[in-house]
Structure 1
């Protein structure tokens, strides 16, 4: 099993330092892209009063700036955009990037930004039903020939074209740990993603995922298992914790020296996780880049 990595981006630049969003990437990628082939952008409008970039506009820009990298959101909130428009935007980016777009989507969860931007925030059950409609619409518009109609419980399309069809069809990722969301992943997705999870939490969800695969007649090996979250590595554990900050600990991230992080990641790999989307704390610190590219990533690959 080959272990692969993607680079998760911060939601925006540090306050008052707009140039750093791209500047830090330009500094870091020449070392990281030896091990990472994908860039991932979170889909948020606000994070308190911190600068925050919109996801699809950002990844379209990144696809042009870094033509050797694949790009994707991690994950789109389905309620933020009409699902047919989401399908059309994805098809367009797939065409213009020469096949480098990955679609990742979830039910949506961040109440404050829904309300701040004037979106209705229905119950979790309704948002999952909306996600099901969205996945139906996206996959039909991408795959079905000619015009497409669909009458879902929450979203509908009528005689809709999506031309040109994306070629190849983008990899589809469904993110989330709810029981019904995971069942949708089994039905629709190429990859399943669970963010910010320690191994105990992740492994509990794998049991549920495999049960859904059995019930729906899908080979569980055909659904790629992926992880998204923070990694904070330091020469010492104290330095790693400083990079991580108070929010990120070994409960919800990988934090520690190189050897500690390798130990933390090992059970995920043993459980079949072969793709990690890392938001790297402390970039573009040269110590962080050196530890990752000289000690962590090569050993995980081997």
Structure 2
């Protein structure tokens, strides 16, 4: 099982700029054995991670900066909103990231959900079924212009491209679909995804989603084992369980939403042994990549995860 880091906050805990801290942290994560780094594709910080007026680096700009200073770590959005960029332009952006990183880009993409950002950009927010159809169309377009000789063309339900010159061509950019909608998203995952991600769910919930995904794969004639499964879980580590929860509460007080109550699933919040035991539950479900999301990039949690948890796997 590989480990990843979801960079959901640009909190620095020192006097570095958020962008400089991102680059430094990415280098450190690669050196420590993390194999995947993702950034959120949003205009501002989400309410359950912080405040809208926080510094927040655009996703593909940040990933490009990371690509320039790392050698091996895989890079993706988690996940690109299908509507924030024309999909032809998105294909160019991701193929450029792949070229800059020498083949380390993943197209992490989803159907969009944060309606406040749509309103801020004066964009239409279509119904869920239409957003999923647009997502399917965008994935097909990207794969077409990445693989067809230039000039490439595509005629889709929502998106078209005529005589597009896209060079250099990437060798193979995996498509990661994010989300757990059982009727639409997981069916699309079965049809088109190379990777699949679901954040913030218990092992039991994740196991249920896997069973739904297997069924969709069977219906689509797709080999379920071709899809690499990933999960992203909030993580805080301290020597004492109560202390870990107190840190979680203190960090998440600095957000625009209430923290998850202690009697509900918050993620892996506890001692190194408890966090390792939690990861083992996902490992037992044959998760290919386990990704931690550390609230506010809590430095002690990152240190303790590297020193006291990763070596167990």
TM-score for the superposition, normalised by structure 1: 0.89
Match status 1:254 vs 2:258? no
Aligned to 2:176: 173
Distance 1:18 1:244 in 2: 23
Instruction: Quickly say closer, same or farther: Cα 1:256–1:157, change in 2 above 3 A.
Output: same
Of stretches 84-93 and 248-257 in structure 1, the one that deviates more from structure 2 is 248-257
Aligned to 2:208: 204
Q: Of 153, 159, 163, which residue of structure 1 is paired with 2:163?
A: 159
Aligned to 2:193: 189
Please tell me whether the aligned partners of residues 81 and 112 of structure 2 are also in contact (alpha carbons under 8 angstroms). yes
Structure 2 gap ranges (5+) = 46-51, 253-258
Matches within 5 A, 1:3-14: 3-13=1-11
Matches within 5 A, 1:47-58: 47=45, 48-58=52-62
Distance 2:289 2:72 in 1: 18
Deviation per CA, 1:4-56: give whole Å up to 9, x if none: 01111134346996614533762685366322022211111023322222101
Please tell me whether the aligned partners of residues 105 and 174 of structure 1 are also in contact (alpha carbons under 8 angstroms). yes
Instruction: Quickly say closer, same or farther: Cα 1:159–1:28, change in 2 above 3 A.
Output: closer
Distance 1:160 1:290 in 2: 46
Aligned to 1:265: 279
Q: Give the number of aligned pairs.
A: 296
Distance 1:253 1:184 in 2: 27
State the shift of 1:61 in Å: 1.1
Of stretches 30-39 and 14-23 in structure 1, the one that deviates more from structure 2 is 14-23
Deviation per CA, 1:45-71: give whole Å up to 9, x if none: 023322222101111111113344332
Q: Of 17, 35, 38, which residue of structure 1 is paired with 2:36?
A: 38
Instruction: Quickly say closer, same or farther: Cα 1:243–1:29, change in 2 above 3 A.
Output: farther
Structure 1 gap ranges (5+) = none
TM-score for the superposition, normalised by structure 2: 0.86
State the shift of 1:290 in Å: 3.7
Of stretches 255-264 and 20-29 in structure 1, the one that deviates more from structure 2 is 20-29
Cα RMSD (Å): 2.3
Distance 1:23 1:15 in 2: 9
Distance 2:14 2:119 in 1: 26
Distance 1:72 1:24 in 2: 14
Please tell me whether the aligned partners of residues 232 and 282 of structure 1 are also in contact (alpha carbons under 8 angstroms). no
